[in-house]
Chains A and B, each alone.
Chain A
């Protein structure tokens, strides 16, 4: 949501696991994904299918995720379906990249960390931070 001033210059659709958050920020017609993590395999599978459905429905040119497994699934399907994919690892990960962040170093076209000390060559890159 902190990137909205930039994202809203484009035709943008948001997908979130919490429609309360998107509603609070005045985003209508946001897509909702089930929340999941590596400890919940069945729910993760369900989440991956919902992500596929959303990506097929919207057919985005670019998929951008700021974190967690549901976002990673969108990146995964987006890449397979020909979208440009950008992972921005959460600013909460100041000591090490998240697991999905590590996967995104190879799966996404670009992977950004928000902590300069975690940047590496070629990925993840550091290009600023929301904090």
Chain B
């Protein structure tokens, strides 16, 4: 199964429509969490929102996640070692207040398990690539351990250095 998700707050019709058009050509069923969008998918099982538990269980079952460049989703994909394909929301298309998702996608480009689509036209290629990946070990464990240590040090001593 492929999980398409755009976060619970805003619609992201550009991604939902592109994935709906791609869905019939894919070998896997596609489930979409659409947010408050206007486009009604024809080829994907769609629901506006999911509870955190429901979302976790969909991520665990998915072979690939196709998502806006939201940190929450990227962290969830990493937690379950799932490949994730990102399309960033753009402020000039009124998809978000600012372009921080473009920055996130740019920063994460090239990490294992993370694929970045610059345009919707990149999606067919990126999705095919993502389906080949299988289970992936996302990097970042070392950075996370460093942060945990700094937090413990601060609580103990009042300083992170």
Q: What is the 8 Å Cβ interface bit string for chain A, positions 85-111, against chain B (1 contact, 0 not)?
A: 010101111110000000000000110
- In the complex, residue of chain B having the shortest beta-carbon distance to the beta carbon of A83: B158
> Cβ of A110: which chain B residues have Cβ within 8 Å of it?
154, 159-160
Cα–Cα distance between A6 and B107 once the two chains are bound (Å): 26
- Tell me the complex Cα distance, A88–B146, Å: 13
Residues in chain B near residue A3, CB distance under 8 A: 147-148, 151
Does B154 contact A129, Cβ atoms closer than 8 Å? no
Where the two chains meet, the residues of B that have a C-beta atom closer than 8 Å to any C-beta of A are 51-53, 70-71, 74-75, 78, 99-100, 103-104, 106-108, 140, 142-152, 154-155, 158-161
Q: Given A2-B144, A86-B151, is A125 in contact with B160 using a C-beta cutoff of 8 Å?
A: yes
A86 to B160, CA, bound (A): 9
B147: contacting residue among A90, A93, A127, CB under 8 A:
A127
- CA of A38 to CA of B157, assembled, Å: 33
- Residues of A participating in the B interface, judged by any CB pair closer than 8 Å: 2-3, 5-7, 9-10, 20-21, 24, 62, 64, 84, 86, 88, 90-95, 109-110, 112, 114-115, 125, 127-131
Beyond A88-B147, A110-B154, 19 additional contacts (C-beta under 8 Å) are A3-B151, A7-B151, A20-B51, A20-B52, A64-B154, A84-B158, A88-B151, A91-B75, A92-B104, A93-B100, A110-B159, A112-B150, A125-B161, A127-B149, A128-B143, A128-B148, A130-B75, A131-B78, A131-B143
**Cβ 8 A contact of B140, one of A90, A125, A129:** A129
**Set of chain B residues within 8 Å of A93, measured between Cβ atoms:** 100
The distance in angstroms between the C-alpha atoms of A90 and B103, with both chains bound, is 13
Q: How far is the CA of A113 from the CA of B74 in the complex (A)?
A: 18
Task: For the complex, give the distance between the alpha carbons of A6 and B145 in Å.
Answer: 10
